[in-house]
Amino acid sequence: MTKEQIFANANIVLPDQVIHGAVTVRDGVITAIDSGTSVPTGAEDFEGDLLCPGLVELHTDNLERHIQPRPKVDWPHAAALVAHDAELASTGITTVFDAMRVGSTPTGKSRYGAYARSLATELLDMRSAGALKISHYLHLRAEVCSETLEEEMAAFGPEDRVGIVSLMDHTPGQRQFRDISKLKTYVMGKNNLNEEEFADHVANLQDMRARNGDRHEVVAVAEAKRYGAVLASHDDTTRGHVETSAHHGIHLAEFPTTVEAAQACRDHGIAVMMGAPNLIRGGSHSGNVAAGELAELDLLDIVSSDYVPAALLAAGLLLGDMWGNTARGIKTITQTPARASGLMDRGDIAIGQRADMIRVKRIANAPVLRGTWVQGNRVA
pLDDT exceeds cutoff 60 at 184: no
| Nearest to 156, CA basis, from 103, 214, 211, 113 | 103
3-class secondary-structure state, position 274: strand
**Position 211 pLDDT exceeds 90:** no
Q: Where are the domains of the chain?
A: 54-347
> For position 299, what pLDDT does the model report?
98
End-to-end CA distance of the chain: give it in Å, rounded. 24
Question: Angle at which helices 180-191 and 195-227 pack, to 10 degrees?
Answer: 100
pTM score, whole prediction: 0.91
pLDDT at 349: 98
pLDDT given for residue 94 in this prediction: 98
* 7-38 pLDDT tens trace: 999 999 999 999 999 999 999 999 999 999 99
245-253 long-range contacts, CB within 8 A, separation 24+ = 245/167, 245/270, 246/270, 248/167, 248/217, 248/221, 249/221, 250/167, 251/340, 252/58, 252/164, 252/302, 252/340, 252/341
pLDDT of 2 higher than 90: no
**pLDDT for 278:** 95
Question: So what's the pLDDT on residue 209?
Answer: 73
Mean pLDDT to the nearest integer, 163-184? 71
Contact (CB, 8 A) for 367 and 378:
no
pLDDT number for residue 311: 97
State how far the Cα of 315 lies from the Cα of 304, in Å rounded to an integer: 9
More confident residue, 225 or 285: 225
Q: What's the average model confidence in pLDDT over 60-64? A: 94
Q: List pLDDT tens digits, range 70-106.
A: 888 999 999 999 999 999 999 999 999 999 999 888 7
- For 323-349, the three-class secondary structure string (H helix, E strand, C coil) is HCCHHHHHHCCCHHHHHHCCCCCCCCC
- Residue in 338, 333, 369 with CA at minimum distance from that of residue 354: 338
Q: Could you say which of 3.20.20.140, 1.10.530.10, 1.20.81.30, 3.10.20.310 is the CATH number of the domain covering 54-347?
A: 3.20.20.140
